[in-house]
Amino acid sequence: MTDQLAYVITGRRTISPVDAADVSEVLPDHVVVEIAYTGICGSDVHAYEIGFPYHPTLSGHEWSGTVIGVGADVTGLEVGQRVARTSQPPCGRCVMCQAGHHARCENYTISSLPTAPPHGGYTPKLAVPARSVIALPDSVSLEQGALVEPLTVALHAVRRRQPRLGDTVVVIGAGLIGLATMQFAKLAGATEVVMVARGEDRRDLAARLGATTVLDPADPQLASEIQALTGGRGVDIAYECAGNAQAIQSATTLLRPGGTLMLVGTPFAPVELIPAMWMAKELDVQTTLAHNRWEFDITVDLLAKGLLRTDGMTDSVRGLSELADVFDELSGGAKAIKTLIDPRE
């Protein structure tokens, strides 16, 4: 028993306080982290809406904080160090790992940590295996640290299908992952990076963060503007980061024959699509899932070097006691890029 509470999604539109896991004794391979910020993930809001009993550790999986306890066997981390949450490295034991496909490790999921606490980062303190955190250099803030996990989702998507030098790409959807995908595509060599986004404020932000052209998905001239930008061919790669059928159809229209449709925002519900349109252009249709452990190092390095920017991505910081209200707001359609919860408030 502890006197600390953690908040978990326990059912449809229900967030319940539970006793936080005891952190008074640190396991030999664990660290205890005092949480600074926990980002609310779209998947958390989805779990809240449908009441699907996600493994509780999935809720509140985007956090940063300061190490306040270090297990006896842990090397390379010390009390006072600022860290962000990652996932664990490949297990090395499953069928895929043994076949040499470490990036396909069957145990690489957030909830699979064998000793994970029964809750995520919506709590003041958390004990986790030391290998599941990454140290933050001085130039990366704790607020940025809480964004490292979703930023790495975008990094993984671009590394799955990287633009070639001189390519033209379109990114549909200017949420956090879309805004990061746009920046990574540019860093990877795309010369023209078009952001298609609803809302003038999002388009302005995308332009400030480096999009070479910003367009409104509702613009009837959208397709002809893209044609004009690409000499009539269409874009080489479309990263769909909106997660709806309309965006997938739009991406299909904007691509050149032989281009790549990368589904980053993939809808979970059944949607109506016309795959024959993919065939007509002989598109490569690709998907992407989460990230690999080693990609977190790249994200943090790009943040530290100032090559990946996060200004404007955090809308608000709220206290833990407001968690249920914040979920109601986000579920009600509040247009937030990323809301952070600060359990210290």
Binding site for Zn ion (CB under 5 A): 41, 90-91, 94, 97, 105, 107
Residue 90 or 121 with smaller CB distance to Zn ion = 90
Residue 103 or 285 with smaller CB distance to Zn ion = 103
Taking the complex as a whole, how short is the minimal distance between the CB of residue 339 and Zn ion, in angstroms?
A: 12
Residue 96 or 317 with smaller CB distance to Zn ion = 96
- The residue among 318, 323, 314, 317 whose CA lies nearest residue 6 is 323
Residue 85 or 202 with smaller CB distance to Zn ion = 85
Burial class (CB in 10 A: 0-12, 13-18, 19+), 327: buried
Taking the complex as a whole, how short is the minimal distance between the CB of residue 54 and Zn ion, in angstroms?
A: 11
Residue 46 or 309 with smaller CB distance to Zn ion = 46
Dist CA 125 CA 26 (whole Å): 12
Dist CA 23 CA 267 (whole Å): 38
Taking the complex as a whole, how short is the minimal distance between the CB of residue 40 and Zn ion, in angstroms?
A: 9
Taking the complex as a whole, how short is the minimal distance between the CB of residue 149 and Zn ion, in angstroms?
A: 6
Encoded tokens for 26: 């640190």
Alpha-carbon distance values, 157 to 153, 189, 256 (Å): 6, 15, 20
Using left for φ > 0, alpha for ψ between -120 and 50, and beta otherwise, residue 189 falls in left
Residue 175 or 259 with smaller CB distance to Zn ion = 175
Taking the complex as a whole, how short is the minimal distance between the CB of residue 298 and Zn ion, in angstroms?
A: 18
Residue 229 or 264 with smaller CB distance to Zn ion = 264
Taking the complex as a whole, how short is the minimal distance between the CB of residue 212 and Zn ion, in angstroms?
A: 28
Dist CA 272 CA 142 (whole Å): 41
Task: Report the half-sphere exposure of 294 (CA within 13 A, side-chain side).
Answer: 6
Dist CA 204 CA 199 (whole Å): 9
Task: Report the half-sphere exposure of 159 (CA within 13 A, side-chain side).
Answer: 16
Cβ–Cβ under 8 Å, residues 300 and 141: no
Dist CA 180 CA 308 (whole Å): 8
Taking the complex as a whole, how short is the minimal distance between the CB of residue 186 and Zn ion, in angstroms?
A: 23
